[in-house]
Structure 1
Amino acid sequence: MTRIDTLNSNLRGVDGRLFNISKNQVHWVLGIPNRGFVVPTYKSLSQEGKLKIIDIMGRYGKSWNSKSTKTSRHYKTEGIHVNRQLMDGVEGHWQEHEEDEFKMLFLLLSLEMLLCPTQSSRLASDLVPSLTCAPRAVEYDWCCLVLKKLMDSVAAFSRRYYSSGFASGCGGCLIFVVVMYLDHLNRKPVEWGVFTRLEVWNMNQIRRAIKDDRKPDGGDFGQLGTLDVAYGERHPRLARDTDGPA
């Protein structure tokens, strides 16, 4: 995570090569919409949206009593806990008139488990307003949201790491960072040009690439080096020959 520059939105390889990170790359890797309306926040919610939030929190929200390790003060936290019961409910049988409810729960799980995960099993509190647009989710720019939450999480990780020399984990869509990094390694590409990139990188492919890129001493990565390549363009490790004359 320390190789990501959140101010300039780029990733630095071990060989020093910089790769700018944009929402278009998020689109290529995850396949989610990268244009459309801005995902709603508490500040931008309409009165109707606020009423929806009250309804959602009333049915799925919970509260926790916590104690600060620094000040010993007790405080109450409200949020949505993603548990097995919630996941089993989404996998159950749904009626046609329950379509909007299903979409809302599916979006909730997608945000917490893949797109914008936290270090706990709770949906980030500032993401709750995004659930109000679930019935028309395809019309919203989710790539921008995913990238912003990732950069915020990495920035928080960096602050903890550089202040104490240790950080115990990082939120955000780390699978996006992994796939993007692996796609830029100096090795034969995995089904280059196939959209989405997440579909072609199964665990066997990921393990193989990690093994190839790990340095001989078994420590850091960077053995292979990186390539200056962009999604949607020809990969430099692929053959350049055409089909030939008819």
Structure 2
Amino acid sequence: MTEGWTDQQLPTWQSDAVGDDRDVERPFSQRPGDGAVGRADLQRDQTVRKWGPVTPSATQIGRAESPDADLSENVRRLHEERHSAMAGHSARMHRLDKLRIAHALCNDLSLTPWQRDRVVGIMSDLDLTAFGSQRAIPKVALVVIRHVVDREREHYLGLHDQEWISGLSPDRLNDLYDQFRSITDEEEFSALVAKHGLDVTSLNRLRRTLRDQLDEQDLETAVYGRNPYRDPNLPSLDARRADEAHEK
């Protein structure tokens, strides 16, 4: 097909591209600054791209079109949570924050699964308004952790039974209190308390408030993920899993 063609007559797609003679003759330079952008090109590029692309719609979502304009009724209902899709959104998010923060603090303090479920169960339904200026979720969660852990340790030693304690001798009573170790004596808990601006005095005051709220809201026996009205005669989930593993 190409017989009779000379190099000068070959199409460009069948022959090597002919470069500029100036590019061929120009020596390759490795001096500093030779590969940098020229000052004029750099200034032109900075001037053109100084403000970037203009996208008004990206900054006006959910806002009025102008300072004198007003929001549409649909957007206003969304902002005020009067829309059917947003009903109770803030309350749900607040409850999720309480669960998340309480669970994280329990993990930091290496609580047992039962203690963690007790703390999260109390925090999930606890009304924080009674704590006043100290109603921040981490602060109240630390108070609940202190109450749950210390209460469990008091039950272990029998210090919760006032009638039994009243019949003990002073030496026996002192021995029991020497064995009791509050979570406030642990370094990890003390570090978290100091981090969130609390001390032993404020913990004791907030614990008294917590006890009142637990009695008013009936949360003393609250446990997250456990049904207090479950029939004890029914087999537990762990028992069913053990039976299934045994059958395999």
Pick the TM interval, shorter chain: under 0.3
The structure showing larger relative contact order (alpha-carbon pairs under 8 Å, at least 6 residues apart) is 1
Larger Rg: 2
Q: Of Structure 1 and Structure 2, which has the larger fraction of its residues in strand?
A: 1
TM-score, length-scaled by structure 1: 0.22
Q: Of Structure 1 and Structure 2, which has the larger fraction of its residues in helix?
A: 2
